[in-house]
Structure 1
């Protein structure tokens, strides 16, 4: 099963970063607003992580992520400003919210890997790193570019990264094997 975009604009993933103790609150809020989300650009719940594994670099301790899919950035923005629960400044203790364009459909596998980059040399990154990244992730059974973008809209929180890649994995083992191969 996969989530399919119903508009001509790029579909987006809305990424919520919040305290991991609030996973049930996030889930319950999204379930309650399911029909409202659906009316705003086919908004759909993708999931959340009860645990985030930081493989390299820094990740805010006790922070997790939740994901929603919308058919366009405009639909996601309209939902964010109109939803009575989400627009409250203290919802999920002021969760950070990012909106990123998708490059391909989400397959609803259980493992999403976020690779966050700062201060990149754009030419080297696009011409050398990304092609090698795509080839190696594919070789290990992953989908390399669910999202691959410097365009990160931040309706709430701080933009602390210059580039984001979201990789999708069919299982934890494939992800771990690929990550170990990169050391």
Structure 2
């Protein structure tokens, strides 16, 4: 398992968790601030999901939170953006939100509509890297999925605000719910889950995100 340490040319993603009853306000706020967002390294709102589009997979995941994903071409630009949007500076914005900033792997765009998040509490990093990660990477390739984030948030990311304190964060994206379900519930991944749980606890979910604007890929 290779951590992605950010540099000036690396992409980054801001992940927001907002109260489910604030979905429309969050969506309206993101649309309102799109001009500010695009000024920072050609940033884009990759997508948004309400609580009923999110499925808990393992451990704890709040059932009353929605998710939004914002992408930037560089980590420094994303960091500057967090200081530049007036709404973010309000402590009670959307009734209180969680917001983290993480560097990307080689893929700086989410592109796919299905997003899997794994928040890992790693007990044995070496064992996880050797026994789990190579096979997990191969499974992603077989199903044309992408690993967008793989990072120790405390060391190489940033908690912007809120109560969410991720450990080691992994974000994978999948082309469709069918592709994800076939991989996640398949026999090979069930053995992989056991290998991962031998070295780390995980709080994880999968969600279907909807774009705010038309993508131009």
Same fold (TM over 0.5): yes
Give the drift of 1:141.
Answer: 2.7
Query: Superposed, which structure 2 residues align to 1:117-128 within 5 Å?
Result: 117-128=120-131
> Tell me, which stretches of 5 or more residues in structure 1 are unaligned?
1-6
Answering whether residue 137 of structure 2 is matched by residue 134 of structure 1, we say yes
Q: 1:40 — aligned with what? A: 40
| Deviation (angstroms), 1:126 | 2.1
Q: Does 1:153 align with 2:158?
A: yes
Q: Which has the higher contact order (CA 8 A, sep 6+)?
A: 2
1:20 and 2:20 correspond? yes
Q: Is residue 86 of structure 2 the alignment partner of residue 81 of structure 1?
A: no
Instruction: Pick closer, same or farther for the CA change 1:70–1:105 going to 2, 3 Å.
Output: closer
Q: Are 1:120 and 1:162, in contact at CA under 8 Å, matched by a contact in 2?
A: no
TM-score (normalised: structure 1): 0.88
- Give the aligned CA root-mean-square deviation in angstroms: 1.7
Q: Residues 75-131 of structure 1, C-alpha deviation per residue, up to 9 Å, x if partnerless?
A: 122211121122211112221111111111325211011011013312122233211
Q: Does 1:168 align with 2:170?
A: no
Structure 1 distance, partners of 2:124, 2:38, is: 39
Instruction: Indicate the SS of the match to 2:88.
Output: coil
Query: 1: CA distance between counterparts of 2:68 and 2:162?
Result: 15
Do the aligned residues in 2 keep the contact of 1:152 with 1:159 (CA within 8 Å)?
A: no
User: Which structure 2 segments of 5+ residues have no match?
Assistant: 1-6, 191-217
More off after superposition, 87-96 vs 103-112: 103-112
Structure 2 equivalent of residue 94 of structure 1: 96
Deviation digits for residues 30-57 of structure 1 (CA, Å, limit 9, x no counterpart):
1111111111222211011122111121
Which runs of at least 4 in structure 1 moved beyond 4 Å after TM superposition? none
Match of 1:3 in 2: none
Q: Is the 8 A contact 2:8 2:75 kept in 1?
A: no
Contact 2:119/2:170, CA 8 A, preserved across alignment: yes
C-alpha distance in 2, partners of 1:54/1:162? 17
Counterpart CA distance in 1 for 2:163 and 2:104 is 20
Distance (whole Å) between structure 1 residues aligned to residue 123 and residue 133 of structure 2: 12
